[in-house]
Structure 1
């Protein structure tokens, strides 16, 4: 791939590729909603669901810290640089060294997690009763190997993304959901009570992690990689390995701030029964546009930035980042507005079944409104932070994360006594905004304006179009609520959720066309190009 036009060209984000990746990610996110819906039906929002949330959060926090966080941020640019400048064989030797280190280090952490599950739960959920804490510790021991599975999956994903292979990594999380859903259906058919269903659900989670890794192995083999993990003599002195260690050290410090945020949020929420579940369900919904649009764009942009940084082409890096941030605003700002305006009907149609009641819907909707405020900032951080790592300026995202962590702790202390669990969600969103502000200010101070139309001007247009979406969606929801006030059941829920979504979406597109937002034309052109290639 060295010297290829794509690797060295100055083109911004390839919208058609981002659209395809978004579509692949969408399948996973939809399956994730089905999984969460099944969880709500089986278990509800109570002490059993809260125990699962904390138990899964322990390996998941470590996954975000070591696997899909620090390791991915460090491995992708190092692998891309080795592949471009030292050849494929050197890149794959680097990958095998990393796999060996993952097996050694993450495997040890997994064993420690199993051994010290009880103290970990006590640290994260001091508000739990003794029985609830014991259940959470038991579930933690079941799910700790999930950490090792997804760490290996992250290495495979990094190799594929760095070589422009995005489909398998995007589809792999769907199989995680498939495994959980398959087990969940069996639990539902068995009619188990929630205290037993939650144990089976934890086993299904572990199965899903294994499927997520297995889904990428054929693609990894197809690009020529052969797994031979070993720490050969002098392997740790390899320049790629040293670069990964250097970037990971900074990334762990930076990402640990995010994990501290989650830890603090969990501690506060553990004092309200159901609160950890409400926050988890709301955050999952917020992650739908974050994953479908934000992460997809960040993945394509991140690979492009890594390649262009390796080619020392800063103009292309600037163009790529500018294009990515404008595309994130075009897609995720209206998504945030739509989630805030239609939080209750959306949550009702997805979760309000089985053991998940109307009061749980109201509580989750309140959390979703607060989380939606930070959606754009979350997505923008995922685009900007990897660019600093690709340019060996890891200190900046570390500072941003630490500031975000500090803001989150202070905001929780200030808001929780007033707003309860809602203050936890709002503090998280405001902390993400602080993190994004640090990254954007630092980038502009060192590198000047990002390529293309100014972000502020484009964001202003997007906000105007999103205001049209909010007005139309709210009016449609109020009208349908009046029209269907005597109707109950799933058909009425579907109409109340998807009717306003469709009306608001059409209003947004019409406003975007009237305001001449360029990203609309880019998206339509990307779709046409992909359709033409398939024809």
Structure 2
């Protein structure tokens, strides 16, 4: 079906071992060694974790302020429009298309040409963003009615002004994305990872004041715009501190930008799978009972925590690294893909299990309030359990998509994205009537798994990249044994703690099981499990190139 590139012979593929990888990848790792890759991933992931903690506080306040109702559905739909555009356009397609080209120009032609490319990119992309924002703001009633056909007249009237207030948020974030892409070329990832904290702090402040003084939802909308503006300022200052600037535009710059623009248009489809599926889910959820869209949002935020803290952070660091691999040691791509997938799997699977097992406690201890009842918590937990299996596939997709971008191919990711979206729509139709919002989460999981399979098959078929299935399945058997021992011990300790708590007076049981105090003992148990998994790798023969 697809024309095949010449595949490397087996003899040309180096043996899979950390030592051989380090030796043959020396030219590749000139920019980033494996130690610096994982170090920067930890820094970025740690920064993202701080942001997610602030985000959890934000969602806790949001559930107390809005709950799960028609009003909350209207706000989250309005917030989804600029937020999804941010992920698709600014942090998705722009980053995926801009970073490889900017890095190549900077390395081969010098920083002066890279500065010129930044100038043209800024003018072109921000012009597109301004036009897009203007159109959405002008046609906001039609946009909302299209994205949420199940909204009644009251919800439509509520959502439209919220959309118009928050749309400028995209301009600031898209500018930040360009600065962040340039900063990646000099291996600076900290500020882009910390910047979302600014948005969370702005929204938290607005929510606290809104709760205390009973302010309108518009206050939170304005806080979103303010947070985006502050993020942009932080990126601009960092950009200047690294002596990066803007340069004059010439014919060569236009040539570079033309190459990047083609990547951008194709990446716009391929990086948007999750957001397109979210928008489709919102259309279906708008026809469900009031609050369903909000419950999907709350559950999705907890799935996004490990996805952002590790998978996205790790894949962000790997993009410039993979770009160097393609140039200096293309035969090593199979090795680096294998090791990346192994690390992602080893980290994400236990996190997903814990999310599914303790999900009900997340909503009971953090979200339950007068406007977010135990019934809402139970429904949100069901949605979370349905979405958690898709976490691994969403994480792997980040790695595989960046592999294609590093190889200079964007149309295959576009095709796989289209297939995934079609599967999501079909599954939504089949599952939503019986399972309601839970069915939408199941459909998203199926969609993500379909895209993962397609990306793997086409990577091997079209590019001849060797996929080490046998070695990966051996690795899976080893980690399953490690998980079995670890989670058995975790279950025994957890059950023992619950038994001891049952001996306490009823008020203490409530305090330590149904409030934030629950995490004072459950949190250390989770940390103990993580420590065991890290320390016991060698016992089970688990080898991870990036952290060994």
Task: State the TM-score, normalized to the length of structure 1.
Answer: 0.89
- In the alignment, structure 1 residue 69 sits paired with structure 2 residue 88: no
d(CA) in 2 for partners of 1:452, 1:509: 28
Q: 1:175 maps to which residue?
A: 198
The two structures have a TM-score, normalised by structure 2, of 0.87
Give the corresponding residue for 1:212.
Answer: 231
Q: Find out whether 1:337 has 2:353 as its counterpart.
A: yes
Structure 1, gaps ≥5 residues long: 526-535
Q: Which residue of 2 aligns with 1:296?
A: 313
For residues 491 and 295 of structure 1, do their structure 2 counterparts lie closer, same or farther at Cα, with a shift above 3 Å needed? Answer: same
Could you tell me how far apart the structure 1 residues matched to 2:444 and 2:276 are? 11
- Measured after TM superposition, the shift of residue 260 of structure 1 is 3.3
- Is the counterpart of residue 518 in structure 1 residue 540 in structure 2? no
Contact 2:424–2:446 at 8 Å: present in 1 too? yes
CA shift at 1:264, angstroms?
1.6
Q: 1:505 to 1:452 in 2, by over 3 A?
A: farther
Size of the aligned set, in residue pairs, is: 513
Q: Distance in 1 between matches of 2:107 and 2:281?
A: 42
- Tell me the distance in 2 between the aligned counterparts of 1:461 and 1:182: 46
The CA distance in 1 between the partners of 2:452 and 2:390, in whole Å, is: 10
Please show how residues 121-200 of structure 1 align to structure 2 within 5 Å.
121-192=144-215, 196=216, 198-200=217-219
> Aligned equivalents of 1:468 and 1:433: distance in 2?
27
Q: CA deviation at 1:160?
A: 0.8
Matches of 2:521 and 2:267, distance apart in 1: 43
Counterpart position of 1:352:
368
1:285-318: per-residue Cα shift (whole Å, max 9, x none)? 0111111111111111112112333x34214444
Q: Deviation at 1:478?
A: 5.1
After superposition, the CA RMSD in angstroms is: 2.5
Question: Is the 8 Å Cα contact of residues 325 and 380 (structure 1) preserved in structure 2?
Answer: yes
Residue from 380, 384, 393 that aligns with 1:364: 380
Alignment correspondent of 1:306 = 323
Match of 1:283 among 300, 304, 326: 300
Which has the larger displacement, 6-15 or 454-463?
6-15
Counterparts in 2 of 1:499 and 1:172: CA distance versus 1, 3 Å: same
8 Å CA contact 1:251–1:398 kept in 2: the answer is yes
How far did residue 509 of structure 1 move? Answer: 4.5
Aligned to 1:223: 242
1:406-417 aligned within 5 A: 406-417=422-433
Q: Residue 151 of structure 2: SS of its match in structure 1?
A: coil
Deviation (angstroms), 1:46:
0.8
* Cα distance, 1:473–1:283 mapped onto 2, change above 3 Å: farther
What is the aligned partner in structure 1 of residue 221 from structure 2?
Answer: 202
Deviation string, structure 1 residues 216-271 (Cα, Å, up to 9, x no partner): 2222112212246x8x4647732x21221111121123245544322220011112
TM-superposed CA distance for 1:65, in Å, is: 2.2
In terms of mean alpha carbon deviation, does 94-103 or 455-464 score higher? 455-464
**Distance in 1 separating the partners of 2:546 and 2:324:** 22
Unaligned 5+ residue runs, structure 2? 1-25
Cα distance in structure 1, aligned partners of 2:238 and 2:131: 28
